[in-house]
Amino acid sequence: MLSRVWPWLWLLLAPAVMAEPLRIGFGTHKPPYVFEGLSRGLEYEIVVAAVRATGQEVEVRYAPMERLHLAISRGELDGIATTNAYSGVEAFYSEPYIHCQNVAMALSSRSYRINSIADLGRYSISTFQRARHLLGPEFQAMAEANPHYREEAQQINRNRLLYSGRIDVVVGDPRIMRYFNREVGEQVDTTQPVTLYMLFPPTAYSVGFRLKEQRERFDRGLAAIRASGEYLQIEQRYADY
């Protein structure tokens, strides 16, 4: 009797299994890529659209990047965004869904001569969490040898540190820095000229998944939104940032 009932029971349960949302972790507030709690942002919308293109929904969690990497290693998340194979965390990494141009930035009044990543070792550095892994081996070597290197859970802190002169150099995406300037303008002088040091190639970011089949499904969804034009539409919504 059970042998006859089981196939039908599986068919009834299958839609519920497929409907389980993917638990995806995003870093804390970093406009224009992620507007925490507002269900929008360039990164947020690309990742969610790619998942939905496969017929699944997303359950979004926000946390600092260090906590997200720990959560996926514990099985508390199905995937985390804004990561890549350099992260040091065992996961199944998707095709890159976005490329960001990270740069080193310093107040122009300091007149620093920075021509290489190794040169950063002479200065106090503030950057985003996991940057020591995500920006490649040369940057990691510099970070581990630099006693004045720090990573911020809240990216807005880099703006305060830079414009107050409490840090020599910040490393990150200029678009995030420009956005947060409007939020710290009453605390520090954001009109001070800043020099950008183009030391890094564009950084490719992927979603790191707990399971191989989740990665493969996401890659199919990402290809689908690129082909349909939805990816381009999302990019255009954030072109002015």
| Predicted pLDDT at 31 | 96
Asked whether the predicted pLDDT for residue 219 surpasses 60, the reply is yes
What is the rounded average pLDDT of the residues 33-38?
Answer: 95
Comparing 15 with 54, the larger pLDDT belongs to: 54
Same CATH fold assignment for domains 2-99+204-237 and 102-197: yes
Report pTM. Answer: 0.86
Confidence of residue 241 (pLDDT cuts 50, 70, 90): confident
The alpha carbon torsion through 51, 210, 37, 240 (nearest 10 deg) reads: -60
Cβ–Cβ < 8 Å for 135, 102: yes
| Predicted pLDDT at 39 | 94
The full set of domain ranges for the chain reads 2-99+204-237, 102-197
What gap in Å lies between CA 226 and CA 228, rounded to an integer? Answer: 6
Q: How crowded is residue 193: how many other Cβ atoms within 10 Å of its Cβ?
A: 7
Confidence of residue 20 (pLDDT cuts 50, 70, 90): confident
What gap in Å lies between CA 90 and CA 72, rounded to an integer? Answer: 9
| Predicted pLDDT at 9 | 40
Phi/psi for 115 (5° steps) reads: -115, -5
% of the chain at pLDDT higher than 70: 92
Q: What is the pLDDT of residues 121-177, one digit of tens each?
A: 999 999 999 999 999 999 999 999 999 999 999 999 999 999 999 999 999 999 999
Q: What is the CATH number of domain 102-197?
A: 3.40.190.10
Q: What is the pLDDT of residues 68-82, one digit of tens each?
A: 999 999 999 999 999
Asked whether the predicted pLDDT for residue 12 surpasses 60, the reply is no
Q: Which of 134, 155, 150, 139 lies closest to 199, judged by CA?
A: 139
**Which CATH class, in words, describes the domain spanning 2-99+204-237?**
alpha beta
Cβ–Cβ < 8 Å for 82, 26: yes
